[in-house]
């Protein structure tokens, strides 16, 4: 039996605040992804011209390793963007902030710190 003091969703005002927070993070994440992609392809103004480094011979391995690291960062950024977009969809569906394990509201402080989360701290620690 559920008690009256338990809330099952955040208010429209709370959801609007979370939407703004997530949109800011999403905009920043997209900019970061473009920056990383430009570094990977050598289109960044600050990036060293790859042909200059190839002439130095031994630097090829370093370039390859750096590209791999940048690719990993870009892949993580793509996943993060996807998670933020899904969080925005949950806001539109008014299911945002509800723990997928317990069905209870996720603490606002946790949502502000990790706005794409779908689990409360209780559920996350129990899963670990």
CA 89 from centre of chain: 14
For residue 124, pLDDT beyond 60:
yes
Percent of the chain, pLDDT > 70?
Answer: 79
Q: Which residues pair with 98 in a beta bridge?
A: 105
68 inside domain: yes
Instruction: Let me know if residue 23 belongs to a domain.
Output: yes
Please indicate, yes or no, if residue 28 is contained in any of the structural domains.
Answer: yes
- The H or E element that residue 46 is part of is none
Task: Specify the number of domains making up the chain.
Answer: 1
The 10s digit of each residue's pLDDT in 26-77 is 999 999 999 999 999 887 555 455 555 444 444 556 667 788 999 999 999 9
Confidence of residue 8 (pLDDT cuts 50, 70, 90): confident
Asked if residues 77 and 33 have their Cβ atoms less than 8 Å apart, the reply is: yes
Residue 100 covered by a domain: no
In a domain, 108, yes or no: no
Neighbouring CB atoms inside 10 A of 12's CB total 10
Q: What percent of the chain has pLDDT over 90?
A: 66
């Amino acid at each position: 039996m559920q008690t009256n003091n338990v809330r099952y969703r955040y208010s429209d005002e709370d959801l609007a605040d979370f939407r703004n927070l997530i949109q800011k993070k999403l905009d920043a994440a997209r900019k970061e992804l473009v920056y990383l992609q430009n570094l990977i392809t050598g289109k960044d103004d600050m990036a060293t011209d790859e042909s200059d480094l190839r002439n130095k011979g031994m630097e090829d391995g370093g370039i390859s390793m750096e590209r791999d690291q940048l690719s990993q960062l870009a892949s993580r950024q793509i996943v993060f963007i996807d998670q933020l977009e899904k969080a925005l969809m949950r806001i539109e569906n008014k299911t945002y902030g509800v723990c997928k394990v317990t069905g209870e509201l996720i603490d606002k402080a946790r949502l502000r710190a990790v706005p794409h989360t779908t689990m409360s701290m209780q559920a996350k620690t129990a899963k670990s």
